[in-house]
Amino acid sequence: METPDDGLFDHDEADVTIVSYMFACAKSNQGVVRVLSDDTDIFILLVYWVYRANVQCRVQMKGLDMLKLNPKCMRLLGMHALSACDTTSYPYGKGKVDAFDKLLLGDYPGLSDVLGEKGKTNEELVKASKPFINALYDQPAENDSALQTLHKEEHSKTADTATNRTKPTSSHSTCTSTYHAVEGSKLQSTP
């Protein structure tokens, strides 16, 4: 891929385009494909899709234990969407690094087993997302009111109320947006 005209998509989402270029190169037996980026979104999407497509790869990154990450690769897409991808708002006061650290420390099967699967209800989406979101805010997994309460508590800690941050009462819409982002990503980016 040498020019944008060689791309696989008609839009300018750099993270999706880079991932699609990598798969196009891998499928055409280009040998070594090297992706250099300091963008967390690209890292997360590449690790997820490379793992899912069983593409042979080597990640060179300080402080990353791939043996620890491998079982969690299928959960990266859900974690990515819940911690703010291009189409979802991010949890107040939490970023990708916090979310990635929590993913490494815990077990959140709902991030891969429910998010992005067709036909899920809002209740199923909230139930699947809740343990991860609760962990992100250091709350017990079974805390039923944590989504609403935590967002409200985090919002009240500071006067900074940027519009792209999750609102105190928006846990259902956040989970629904996440579901559609993951489902759409699976449909659009399937190698």
Please state, rounded to an integer, the average pLDDT across all residues of the chain: 70
Predicted confidence at residue 152, as pLDDT, reads 61
Predicted confidence at residue 187, as pLDDT, reads 47
Predicted confidence at residue 1, as pLDDT, reads 42
**Every domain of the chain and the residues it spans:** 4-189
3 state SS of 165: strand
Under-50 pLDDT residues of the chain: 1-2, 4, 159-161, 163-164, 166-169, 187-191
Q: Where are the alpha helices (DSSP H) in the chain?
A: 14-27, 40-52, 66-69, 76-82, 96-105, 110-113, 122-136, 146-156, 171-189
* CA atoms within 13 Å, Cβ hemisphere of 63: 4
| Nearest CA among 116, 82, 123, 86 for reference residue 102 | 82
pTM of the model: 0.55
Predicted confidence at residue 144, as pLDDT, reads 63
- C-alpha–C-alpha distance, residues 20 and 26, integer Å: 10
Predicted confidence at residue 28, as pLDDT, reads 85
